[in-house]
Amino acid sequence: MQWLTVLPPFLAIVVAVWTRNVYVALGLAILLSETLIAHASPEFSFGYGLLGSIDRTVGVFGSTGNVRIILFCLIIGALIAYMQKSGGIAATVEKLHRSGLASSPRRAGLISAISGVLIFVETNVSLLASGVLGRPLFDRLNVSRERLAYIIDSTCAPVSVLILLNGWGAYVAGLMANNGVSDEFGVLFQTIALNFYAWLALVAVFATVLVGRTFGPLARLELQRDAQIEAGLSSKQSQASELVETPSRAAYMGMPVFILIAGALGLMLWTGEGDITQGSGSQSILWAVVLATLAAGLCFVWSGRANGKTLDVGMQGMGELLPAVVVIVLALALGDSLRALGTSAFITQAAASISVPFVIPAVLFVVAGITSFTTGTSWGTYGILIPVAIPMALGAGLPLPLVVAAIMGGGVFGDHCSPISDTTIIASLAAGCDHVDHVRTQLPYALVIGAVSVVLYLAAGLLAL
């Protein structure tokens, strides 16, 4: 009955799509998972499952890393509120527009995508910085925030597994070293050219930006939105709350964002004792966002617009992100519950039974995608699958970089499809759009690129033998 372990994540997706209520979807999935874990008799199963769900959610706060993510997402609200109310965001948008750097949707999209590529050291910093910068630009040019969420999400995560001078690279190298690979960094850097999904995802983003065309649910959403604007049912600036304030000085946004990025990188270098790849990403980004928020608060005061309401504005900003934080807590609880249920172990065992060697890279890519999709974490996926994949590759005579690259790309693929992935949630938060809409509109892009990647891994597996 191990197949029952995949029911909770399946339920979460069905309910989220059907009801468009991610809170209900995640809550029911946690309840089902905990009910299956309880193994109680039918008359008591619901009660045990409900109590287990409460304890599992409380347990999220027992992890220092989880608490840092939650605080980070709350404090972001205050940071954005201060930059907005000080007039810094409006001034930055006005300056970029006057300079011509962001005078068209194509240029605004390029700014967001390129900033995601350049800030490759920490995914959450990259998502936040790209989203905060791109959101008012997209609003001003009447481009949907869902398109912005797709651009930053499908840029920041793939870049992190291609430019490996970061925590992702150090983590995967450590996993290989712990499983008998002597030249782990040599293998790691050979994966770059073989990470088909990451490369194709970046190509798709830049093609979308340059061509200016979308497809699937994203195209339909934008057409519906344009029709509502033409019919007078909504305003072109209905979502552009950042532009309500009168422009003041671009430095009121520039300085906090610079402190956020430079602080995160510097603190990762410090916590890693000189090695940025060994630094604590969650700790560094929390410290950096606190420092950036303090700077933004001071800018708000210096702008002369505070009028004794600095704390009130910060609290209001954090309150606006509380729904997103609830989603993160539920997603983390579901991921923990699924690991306890054995969902990942079942999927891994299914992959290990493959007897045809050339399909192993493609199968591992798909399994990594499913595992990441169901658990909401690519890092957890790597920790589960890389120890399994190494002996599989050696036994089948396949190049180790090909197999590891398939797992790394598959983890990002699953993240892009999953409504419980922390990076997907933060991308929605940074872009300021509905989370379910982001997942729904990004999914076709990820599935098409994933399908092409499977074909490429099948071909690579044949050529490698």
* Domain membership flag for residue 365: no
Amino acid at position 364, single letter: L
The Cα–Cα gap between 331 and 426 comes to 12
Three-state DSSP state, 464: helix
* Domain membership flag for residue 272: yes
Q: Tell me, what's the pLDDT at 195? A: 95
List, in order, residues 6 or more apart from 300 with CB less than 8 Å away: 82, 85, 86, 252, 306, 310, 313
Spans of the chain, pLDDT less than 70: 1, 13, 16-17, 20, 40-44, 93, 97, 119-122, 125, 165-167, 170, 229-245, 277, 281, 344, 347-348, 350-354, 465
* Domain membership flag for residue 71: yes
* Domain membership flag for residue 374: no
Three-state DSSP state, 273: coil
* Domain membership flag for residue 372: no
Torsion on CA atoms 281, 286, 288, 294, rounded to nearest 10: 180
Cβ 38 vs Cβ 51: under 8 Å: no
Domain span holding position 302: 64-172+200-324
Q: How far is CA 394 from CA 165, 296, 357, in A?
A: 26, 53, 11
Number of domains in the chain: 1
* Domain membership flag for residue 445: no
What's the pTM? 0.71
Q: Tell me, what's the pLDDT at 68? A: 83
* Domain membership flag for residue 316: yes
* Domain membership flag for residue 369: no
Query: 221 — phi, psi (to 5°)?
Result: -60, -45
